[in-house]
Chain A
């Protein structure tokens, strides 16, 4: 096995990289609570946290319940403007003492470190996820990567304890080439893990769109050169700062596509609520667009149109269902409809993971299913593609159905059942499609809520080998 410490772009890559320009952006980010506490924010932001709210947050400083230690606080001017007129947006971005009432949660949700062969890479499926940034323009309070954003110590399988680091191009390129060579030599399956070729990389973090165009281009071309077939970009920047999607960015995108037409791009965007992109009138109602549909916020509209007009890329939306933000079938229905109209596929909605502090955010799983199901009544088939997903250590799991009536002869089904289906097995795709059926538990916010009422489990979601007792009181550093 050969390793190289430095990565040398090919001539083709270098020509592309030389053609890329960075631009300057005016995000007007407000980081942290200190400025609010000291009253040193712009005049129009001064009332964003009330005096009572500030007092509550200050009282938690230097305790284990400090809200900023659990998850840094951050907001852009653009998002603040939306938040002013939207309770759901405020819940998303405003720090609150409720986040640390209960610090129960896994310090490494999904035990991701078990799937991390090199720093900054999670290789669980035929798609790999890389951390390319450890921050975003603004921070969602419910972020499930809070252990990365807040740079918390995480235990690795070999026993070391350190914050999660970012991926580096030379290391990642070597890993991909090495892995795929071994797969090819193994006749299409990796001799040890049984996984197929690594075909797709998801750039994540944090938010890749905080990087400059040159930095993003370097990742794009390095990945393209390894033979990766498609690159996903996971970003919430369309909600936080849509002007990032400017001419210089699209110039880079177009040049990349011209240079590497066979490396497909997929933007995995993250809208939680239509208030993040729809205009409202003085009464807080959405505004019908004279030509059809609803009227969008101009900068978001420009960005989504520019992205959507490029028919060689895909755009998909994914969002968690969070208490106080989008546990609202009507809002979700409007969002799914408007996104589809604007070339954005509705991919997944998620049940919240078991992050530290998750009890403040997560809806009961059964409620989440009912809300999504309700929102999809009245949507056409193409608008209602989104499934409800909950990520198990073993893989992505769909919450397929929640029933209410007893099934004659089926013990445990007296109040109905919950049916889950494994969509992707972590290392073994053969488990795809396997189901688990459990008796109802309207209070369950995680798998552990069903441990005592499993009726049928061919997926092995509740098998003893997967220990759920690692939900421990997490230390806030």
Chain B
């Protein structure tokens, strides 16, 4: 299984998750962070620390966000690995809980 970063991360990208990951399986995009499903060990440390509640275990991913499973896998292959929290986005808070952010994803 794996954990999956869902839609609410987009444009928030708080990065608290990266700090707690024991296996450094996060990969950074411009306005989104993803988990490499092959490296994730299901330790459940990232899910509770995300201020945007954007991380789910694969089994608990809301149905409407199913596309994020493949998205995490795909983007983890393309993006650079990060091991420390990235610089925060200026208006992260304004994007929290804004719906329909997938189209704003910068690949």
Residues of A within 8 A of B23 (CB): 210-212, 215
Measured in the bound complex, the distance between the Cα atoms of B20 and A134 in whole Å is: 13
A74 within 8 A of B: yes
The answer to whether A29 has its CB under 8 Å from any CB of chain B is yes
CB neighbours of B42 from chain A (8 A): 29, 31, 74, 135
Give the total of B residues in contact with A, Cβ under 8 Å.
13
Cβ of A26 < 8 Å from any Cβ of B? yes
The CA-CA distance from A25 to B22 in the complex, in Å, is 14
Asked if A24 contacts B44 (CB within 8 A), the reply is no
Q: Which of B22, B24, B41, B45 contacts A137 (CB 8 A)?
A: B41
* A25 CA to B83 CA, complexed, in Å: 17
Q: How far is the CA of A101 from the CA of B52 in the complex (A)?
A: 40
**B104 close to A (CB within 8 Å):** no
Asked if A31 and B44 make an inter-chain contact with CB atoms under 8 angstroms apart, the answer reads: no
Report the minimal beta-carbon distance from A58 to chain B, rounded to whole angstroms: 15
Structural contact, A210 and B39, CB atoms closer than 8 A: no
- Contact check, A210 vs B22: say whether CB atoms are below 8 A apart: yes
Tell me if B90 is interfacial: C-beta within 8 Å of chain A: no
Q: How large is the interface on A (under 10, 10 to 19, 20 to 34, 35 or more residues)?
A: 20 to 34
Q: Does B105 contact A (CB under 8 A)?
A: no
Interface contact A133-B59, CB-CB below 8 Å: no
A468 at the B interface (CB under 8 A): no
Residue of B nearest to A165 (CB): B45
A22 within 8 A of B: yes
Closest to B38 in A: A26
Question: CA of A215 to CA of B23 in the docked complex: distance in angstroms?
Answer: 8
Question: Is B87 an interface residue, CB under 8 A from the partner?
Answer: no
Given A134-B44, A135-B42, A137-B41: A32 and B24 interface contact (C-beta under 8 Å): no
Q: Output the least CB separation between B73 and chain A (Å).
A: 14
A134 touching B24 in the complex, CB below 8 Å, given contacts A26-B38, A31-B1, A32-B1: no
Contacts of A32 in B (CB 8 A): 1, 59
Q: Which residues of A contact B (CB under 8 A)?
A: 22, 24-27, 29-32, 34-35, 74, 132-135, 137, 151, 166, 206, 210-212, 214-215
Can you list 12 contacts pairing A with B, beta carbon distance less than 8 Å?
A32-B1, A34-B59, A35-B1, A74-B42, A132-B22, A134-B43, A135-B41, A137-B41, A166-B45, A212-B23, A215-B23, A215-B24
